[in-house]
Amino acid sequence: MVLALLFALGVANFAVHKAVLESEHPMLDVLPGLFRRGGGRMSLLFEFVVLLSAMIMTENGWPGAAVLYAFYSLFNLVAGWLVLDERI
């Protein structure tokens, strides 16, 4: 059940991440070129690695990884909302 929740949070993170990348917000200009090239593929790969790591650690008996990923997701979703709503 926890893995399904992590997966759902991961889908939400990917959706917000991609929306922020496509928003062309001026803040994105300060990102290193590696993360901006190819439509942000490297930053999406990083997002995948974080999700996969959290899922593997949770499955191997580290429930704290799920809690940390939930906080990470909350932060991402709030930050994405602030960028997409042009509050920052």
> Which pTM value belongs to this model?
0.84
Asked if 52 and 3 touch (Cβ cutoff 8 Å), the reply is: no
- Would residue 32 be called left, alpha or beta, if left means φ above 0 and alpha means ψ between -120 and 50 degrees? beta
pLDDT at 44: 86
pLDDT one digit per residue (tens) for the chain, 88 residues: 889 999 999 999 999 988 888 887 777 777 777 666 666 788 888 899 999 999 999 999 999 999 999 999 999 999 999 988 877 7
pLDDT at 56: 95
Nearest to 64 by CA among 72, 13, 79, 4: 72
Q: Measure CA 37 to chain center.
A: 17
